[in-house]
Amino acid sequence: MKYLAPSILSADFWNLQKDITATLDGRADIIHFDVMDGLFVPNITVGPYVLECLKKHIPNTTFDAHLMIKDPDRYIKDFVEAGASMISVHIEEVVHIHRTIELIKHLGAKAGVAINPGTSLEVLDEILYYVDFVLLMSVNPGFGGQSFIERSIYRAKSLKQKIKDKNLNVLIEMDGGLKLENIHLVKDYVDIFVIGSGIFKAPDITAMTKSLKQVLSDV
Ligand code: DX5
Ligand code: ZN
């Protein structure tokens, strides 16, 4: 099963309700919620209160909080309580990654480790045994609308092989620069497709969501 996760970073925040509803009308599976603190990445976005407001109105929607912040342990509980059922933290930031992953799982959410394009996949070797998913960044985190880094195709392929070799059940989520025109490049390796500008900057958000879902459902 392939999942489509619109990233609301590229939504029109004046029309957030309308934009999110448009993706759900197109049968988006997960809402990707990017959290940035201006320190780990050079941008600032939204926090648990915004997530809580969204979750209150669409309680059956799965929210995936991608924490691009310093010392994320401080806020994991807040995001779970606000309604995130998937949480990822960056391997580049978290020193005691095993402890943090266990904390996320203990709080009842699916735990993910996120990895930047410039970080070797080898650092995942041990933590792969504990996570539910890996968030493979295909741009440098911080902004929507950046170009897809081509080497991410190879990285997705080798990560999938690694997971298979270890006989693990870990999903691969890819985030950054994905669009209708290029998802076929990684379709065989990726399970969760995060798409921001490729959905929210489209003239018809629902139609674009449906087209993406169609491509992902074609075998
Ligand atoms: C980037 C974020 C992404 C971003 C993707 O730091 O993690 O989720 O919204 O946006 P696009 O799809 O426009 O690259
Ligand atoms: Zn993200």
pLDDT in tens, 136-166: 999 999 999 999 999 999 999 999 999 999 9
The mean pLDDT of 185-192, rounded to a whole number, is: 98
Q: Are 2 and 187 a contacting pair, CB within 8 Å?
A: yes
Question: What does the angle CA 190 – CA 186 – CA 118 come to, to the nearest 5 degrees?
Answer: 85
CA 177 to ligand 1: nearest atom: 14
Per-residue pLDDT tens over the stretch 60-81: 999 999 999 999 999 999 999 9
Given the residues 19, 29, 34, 132, select the one marked as catalytic: 34
Nearest CA to ligand 1 atom 1: 141
Residue 219 has pLDDT above 70, yes or no: no
pLDDT bin (cut points 50, 70, 90) of residue 218 is confident
List Cβ neighbours of 47 (8 Å cut-off, separation of 6 or more).
Answer: 35, 75, 78
Beta 3-6 vs 62-68: how paired, if at all?
unpaired
Is residue 175 annotated as part of the catalytic site, yes or no?
A: yes
Ligand 1 centroid to 33 CA: how many Å? 10
Q: How far apart are CA 71 and CA 81, in angstroms?
A: 18
pLDDT bin (cut points 50, 70, 90) of residue 94 is very high
Give SS3 for 192. Answer: strand
pLDDT at 20 (0 to 100): 98
Is residue 12 annotated as part of the catalytic site, yes or no?
A: no
Q: Angle formed by the axes of helices 205-217 and 16-25, to 10°?
A: 30
Percent of the chain at pLDDT > 90 equals 99
**90 exposed, middle or buried (CB, 10 Å; 0-12, 13-18, 19+)?**
buried
Per-residue pLDDT tens over the stretch 100-110: 999 999 999 99
Whether the pTM exceeds 0.75: the reply is yes
Given the residues 175, 188, 191, 204, select the one marked as catalytic: 175
pLDDT at 73 (0 to 100): 98
pLDDT at 144 (0 to 100): 98
The domains of the chain, with CATH numbers, are: 3-217 (3.20.20.70)
What is the maximal distance between C-alpha atoms in the chain?
A: 46
Ligand 2 centroid to 125 CA: how many Å? 22
Average pLDDT value over all residues in the chain:
98
